[in-house]
Structure 1
Amino acid sequence: MAGAKFQKPPQAPPLFTHTPESLLKAADRLLAQSKATTDKVVAANTPENATFQSVILPMARDDNHLSLESHIVGFYQAVSTDAKLRDASTEAEKKMDDFSIEASMREDVFQLVDAVFKKQKNDEKLDPESRRLLEKDHKGYIRMGLGVPAGPQRDRFKAIKKRLSELSITFQKNLNEEQGGLWFTPQELDGVPEDVMSNLQKGEAGTENEGKLRLTFKYPDLFPTQKYCKVVETRHKVFVENENKCNENIALFKEAIVLRDEAARILGYPNHATFRIEDKMAKTPKTVDDFLGDLKSRLAPGGVKEIAKLKELKKAETGKADNYFLWDHRFYDTLMLEKDFQLDQNRIAEYFPLQTSIEGMLKIFEELFGLLFVKVEGEDRKAISETGKGEDITWHPDVQIFSVWNDEGEGSGFVGYLYLDLHPRDGKYGHAANFNIQPGFITESGERRYPATALVCNFSKPSAKRPSLLKHDEVVTLFHELGHGIHDLVAKTIYSRFHGTNTVRDFVEAPSQMLENWCWTPSQIKSLSKHWSYLSPEYAEAWKESSKSTEQPPESMPDDLINNIVNTRHVNDALFNLRQLHFGIFDMTVHEAASHEEIKNLDASETYNRLRKEISKIDGPEALGEGFKWGHGQATFGHLIGGYDAGYYGYLSSQVYSADMFYSVFKKDPMNGKEGRRYRYLVLEKGGSRDEMESLKEFLGREPSTEAFYKELGVA
């Protein structure tokens, strides 16, 4: 990567120069343009003369062009520092969603699509991706209520879809803009690492918070406190307050699950889960329930054993262990790794400075997939910006940009743009995720339009005396999200509809999960590591000062530390996976009601907490006599409102595919470039342009198997 020279890409990157006014105007212009295209198609066709070329293709091309701006219009709400711009982005996204609902319920368009489908669904002249587009389009109209006779029921369905869009946007906005926090004395934060403490807001002199520090619920504050704070009352308070941080979302969540159920029943489905899963790899809720139930029964005994060991550790530390609480878990899990496995997370983090970790990861992707990543900085940004201003091609000064190319062996052509936005800010999306900014597709003239993709994360910021350092689990998170980014970059599809990570939800995590295995491979951990004291003479001095040592540590991570990491991969793994099962089973429970009345009467908070105790086996405040209404975790659970509804099981089921791919193909030689490229062509490049199971079977050379997954978990 370091040797890659800057060259000007054949396509300029997108601009981020919007104002709140221009953003709303852009949304109006895009929607007017789309409506004009659809109206023209309707005017020029009848069901008798309608063809794929005259009906489906113009609308698909309109989708392609629309996506170049529409993704950016909605992206600002996740990343902009300007509250007015975030609000405008939210409003624009709502307009676009409303328009999309209206457009996908147009009877006049559906009649044409239906006619084309009946005539051309088996047309051999259609290429396979176009045939898939026709099938998905046709099914999409039916799933939007056009199989329901026009009248009150269809009108009600449309009203529900619009309200669900509003709920989703507001729910996520509340999470992004959440500003909660708690004030603690330094004594109450005993054990929290110094680099975390030094970044906390200090109480002003003369106020009630003088001498105190403010802990937010953002990940760089929250996780280290739960892992290292020795004061149990602090951990307890932080845990419960974090579960109650977005209580305005409680009513929104409840309304969403009730409306989803009603909409599914209008379409003739018994519940929302049946409606959602029909088009996924699992096909039926029964398949999902059986998979989750089987996994639960396999993991539960291991979870009970793990808690017993953790209780022993708690007793040794405190002298009492009647209960093992939710706010105990991260603390004693971390302590066990330190005591029993000599895993010192803070020492490990010294070897994973954020910047060199990124460089190491990109180098792995270069070798595996035949890519080159060129960092675009300073004058080079001006050279590729359409306006000649380097600041116009990012949304924030912290954002890093890479132009991505194929290496010589892959033809040296341009691939796309990768953006990294890595540190927390007020109003920014609070987790780690990959956002498509512009998808790739083939233009009318047959040329390739190249994608742009962004990683939005929340790792601690560097300071003058120390760079941003990653714990090993953060290295895994970053590698996972970069995996989505690579999927987004290397995909090659005709239509933006199928580009990159636009696959079914119970497959989309598999490519990224498979790549996580590289973070547990000794040779790759070594290649990713570099002690932060080697980054600059200033950092070397700062390290000496803070460590009170004259002898600099080795530059790469020592083998004993690497072995400690690898040996702890499956420590308390049953409890980790039972936590994932809790999310998946809660998701299915609220979307699989036996009757509409049942979902209306369901208490989501109580259900969430009761299932948590039942599945994870760890005590919550209910063990202190507070009942099961002590928190509202579902109100902080963006996945279930943002597209993973009746789909969260996909995180677990796609691990079946990811484990199978890794163990069958890469385990022996993780850096096998020949297999890496084969994987790129057969799985990543296809995006959602063909049945994901077909891609998987072609890559594996057989049907996928659960064997590697259960073996990896130790429950085969």
Structure 2
Amino acid sequence: MQSVNPLLPPYNTPDETVPFDKISNSDFIPAIEEGIEMARERVDAIAATEDPTFESVIEALEFSSLELNRVAEVFFNLNSAETNDEIQSAAREISPKLTAFGNDVLLNAALFEKVDAVYRQKESLNLSGEQNRLLEKTWKSFTRNGASLSDEKKEELRKLDEQLSTLGLQFGENVLADTHDFTMHLTDKSDLSGLPDSVIDMAEEAAKQRELEGWVFTLDYPSYMGFMTYADNRALRHKMWSAFSKRGYNENDNNNTQIVQKIADLRAKRAQLLGFKTHADFVLAERMAEKPSTVVSFLQNLKEKALPAAKSDVQEVADYAEKRDGISPLQRWDFGYYSEKLKKEKFDIDDEALKPYFPLPQVLDGAFIVAQKLYGITFEERHDIPKYNEEVRTFEVKNSDGSHLAMFYADFHPRKGKRNGAWMTSYRSQYQLEGTEYRPHISIVCNFSRPTKSKPALLTFQEVTTLFHEFGHALHGMLAEGTYPGLTGTSVYWDFVELPSQIMENWCYEPEALALFAKHYETGEVIPQEMVDKLRRSATFLEGYATIRQLSFGFLDMAWHNSEGGFSSDVERFEKSVFREMEVFPETTGSAMSTAFSHIFQGGYSAGYYSYKWAEVLDADAFESFLEEGLFNPETAKRFRKLLSSGGTVHPMELFVEFKGKEPDPEALLRRAGLVKA
């Protein structure tokens, strides 16, 4: 009997897109519960099978939770992009239910017996490469998650997982609450000195929304970065920086200090229960890096190359600030302001002067055009696809022969109930079942400046590269080809997943690509070559500092997770001990990064933040092929599409070597960053 709950598929919509217009908050918990029951019945039947085969156990298990996974994807995507008190309350109930069900599956002794029986026959089963990957992944998901533990230890694992699930949610809610609770309301026009019209207009709109006179600045990224980059008022920059750097660290109900320690401790305990020394050992066993020592030496090697450059970068900005305004010492809240001024002087380039060439709709079209020239795919806006907010744009993606490839959602502006940052996600992965192929539904979510009363949404160049980055993730999802949802699209090793996104940023610096979309929103004039040359010259400006900043995050992640637990209560002191060798600013007190480090305490990057730099090595090396063979060379693009479409069906190193002809060269990243001679 078909469920009346609108959240449970199948959906009566174009290509079974999510019927957001039919869903209410009260539908989530019942849909999750019903999805769990449907999946549980299938799992129990698999566990009871008397003839365990690849098809009756491994394949059946892979497809056993399709409806549940779909509902969970919808729910957690909304909890990030369109949350409210009701959804957050539901999350606190749903998360433990899903954790408990996941453990019911992975700790089911009868089920593991069947999985293990198939695994032990693997040499004689004559499986395809993709089937072998699924078998290996399925068997490891059991053995790495407690299937071989005693009943007593299984119960302990369940409790740990439930606690971790709840704490991760609480962490995210606290960061969101601190982000939204802070506003800086200004009524004196002199406080706006230095700010460009676009930032002032945005602040005026924010004030009007709150029924206030004057201007309101928030910790949403466009508002925060606009103020920190251009505001002449140093005291107000300090105020904004302090608020941003204290998220989750204020003396209020949103304090995450104990939560981050508890999460790190519980992860260490969980890893040890499963036979690993640390959480990092557990995580990295299923990564390209394989073990913590590889990651630490990778970070250390880059640090040695980048630290002298970082110190030199910051000293250059400090000297400039002292000479220009007598500022000494240069503080963290001064760096963005004076580095922007120095960049403008040094390269005669200015983000505000660039922005008119990057209206948001045009940049999105530019990403579409680049994808079309590389892969032959097209994007057609659809107005009949339900969406969760009126601001979301929806597109059908087609192959060069006109066949359907994917559905694509784009959600670009900050609003209440949407977390900061930018990310790609999916509402349905690509897979094949019973002779039917199900194509993916992919979404990118960003927080770009809004249009104002006088101008369209004009992007900074950093926002342009962010859009291309997330679009690269989206292409990884949209181009997926495979049979099993757990292996297609972005279901790859975590330290490989950033390659498709980071490589796309390279096209933003190439004149041939910029000419396709970087056009002045009023005159239609293509961005002048002189500006492009300046942009390219400035690409490595402060690259040493930017590299050390990213590496410091990677070291902090490893400090939390390459540990056997037992953290002290002083998070700030713990961070300072990690950052000491890489510190390039005067010491400050009363702030912490970990308490708002969502990537590792709420997202999936625990013991994996190094992946950004790891993937930069891959992307710098891979992009050299496009530079050598042609930016839109059809053969190069065809090879790279193979890498993208394969997802996790092939080991990532095999995919890279097939594309490049050799293993990745770490020097490629240093060459591009200008940290070693090309």
Structure 2 distance, partners of 1:213, 1:450, is 45
Matched residues in 1 for 2:615 and 2:79: separation? 29
Counterpart in the other structure of 2:137? 136
In the TM superposition, residue 349 of structure 1 has moved relative to its aligned partner by 0.3
Consecutive unaligned residues in structure 2, runs of 5 or more: 1-11, 250-254
**Match in the other structure for 1:15:** 19
In the TM superposition, residue 82 of structure 1 has moved relative to its aligned partner by 4.8
Measured in 2, the distance between the counterparts of 1:260 and 1:376 equals: 44
Question: Alpha carbons of 1:694 and 1:202: their partners in 2 closer, same or farther (altered >3 Å)?
Answer: closer
1:539 matched residue in structure 2? none
Cα distance, 1:468 vs structure 2: 0.2
* Equivalent position amino acid for 1:639 in 2: H
Letter in 2 for 1:170: Q
Tell whether 2:248 aligns with 1:246: yes
Determine the C-alpha separation between the residues in 1 that align with 2:65 and 2:15: 19
Residue aligning to 2:220: 218
2:151 aligns to what SS in structure 1?
A: coil
Distance 1:395 1:12, change over 3 A: same
Gaps of 5+ in 1: 1-7, 386-392, 535-553
Aligned residue number for residue 307 of structure 2: 300
Map 1:102-501; keep pairs closer than 5 Å: 102-120=104-122, 122-151=123-152, 153-177=153-177, 178-179=179-180, 180-184=182-186, 185-200=188-203, 213-247=215-249, 248-321=255-328, 323-377=329-383, 381=384, 393-408=386-401, 412-444=402-434, 446-501=435-490
1:154 Cα deviation after fit: 2.9
Partner of residue 547, structure 1: none
2:223 counterpart letter in structure 1: D
Deviation at 1:261, TM superposition (A): 0.9
Q: Secondary structure at the match of 1:146?
A: coil
- Deviates most, 178-187 or 334-343: 178-187
Normalising by structure 1, what TM-score? 0.88
Contact 2:258 2:569 in 1 (8 A): no
C-alpha separation between the residues in 1 aligned to 2:195 and 2:96? 41
* Correspondences of 1:632-647 after superposition (within 5 Å): 632-641=592-601, 642-647=603-608
C-alpha change, 1:82 and 1:292, in structure 2 (3 Å) is: closer
1:74 aligns with 2:114: no
Matching residue's letter, 1:652: K
Structure 1 equivalent of residue 7 of structure 2: none
User: Does residue 98 in structure 1 map to residue 88 in structure 2?
Assistant: no
For the residues of structure 2 that align with 1:202 and 1:708, how far apart are their CA atoms? 44
Q: Does residue 504 in structure 1 map to residue 493 in structure 2?
A: yes
Whether 2:562 is the aligned partner of 1:592: answer yes
Q: Return the offset for 1:211.
A: 5.8
- 1:357-398 alpha-carbon deviations (Å, 9 max, x no partner): 111110110110110111113xxx1xxx5xxxxxxx100111
One-letter identity of the residue aligned with 2:199: V
Which amino acid is 2:18 matched to? P
Amino acid paired to 1:524? A
Q: Distance between the aligned counterparts of 2:541 and 2:395, measured in 1?
A: 37
- 1:64 and 1:496 in contact (8 A); partners too: no
Which residue does the alignment assign to 1:529? Answer: 518
Matched, 1:618 2:585: yes
CA contact (8 A) 1:181 1:214 kept: yes
Q: Is 1:605 aligned to residue 572 of structure 2?
A: yes
CA distance in 1, matches of 2:77, 2:264: 25
What secondary structure, in the 3-state scheme, does the structure 2 residue paired with 1:200 have?
A: helix
Residue 580 of structure 1, aligned match among 550, 553, 578: 550
Deviates more, 1:75-84 or 1:195-204: 195-204
Counting only pairs closer than 5 Å after superposition, residues 687-706 of structure 1 correspond to structure 2 as 687-706=647-666
Deviation at 1:530, TM superposition (A): 1.5
* RMSD of Structure 2 on Structure 1 (CA): 2.2
Q: Distance in 2 between matches of 1:376 and 1:210?
A: 37
Deviates more, 1:138-147 or 1:431-440: 138-147
Counterparts in 2 of 1:53 and 1:222: CA distance versus 1, 3 Å: same
| 1:628-652 Cα deviation digits (max 9, x unpaired) | xx11211111100211000000000
Instruction: List per-residue Cα deviations over 1:116-136 (Å, max 9, x = no partner).
Output: 11122x235212112111111
Change in Cα spacing, 1:94 to 1:352, as seen in structure 2 (3 Å) is farther
Match of 1:672 in 2: 633
Distance 1:711 1:202, change over 3 A: closer
CA deviation string 1:470-490 (max 9, x = no partner): 011110000000000111100
Give the equivalent residue in structure 1 for 2:8: none
SS of residue in 2 equivalent to 1:434: strand
Deviation of 1:33 after TM superposition, in Å, equals 0.4
Q: Which amino acid aligns with 1:647?
A: G
* Number of residue pairs the alignment of both structures matches: 654
Q: 2:145 is paired with a residue of what secondary structure?
A: helix
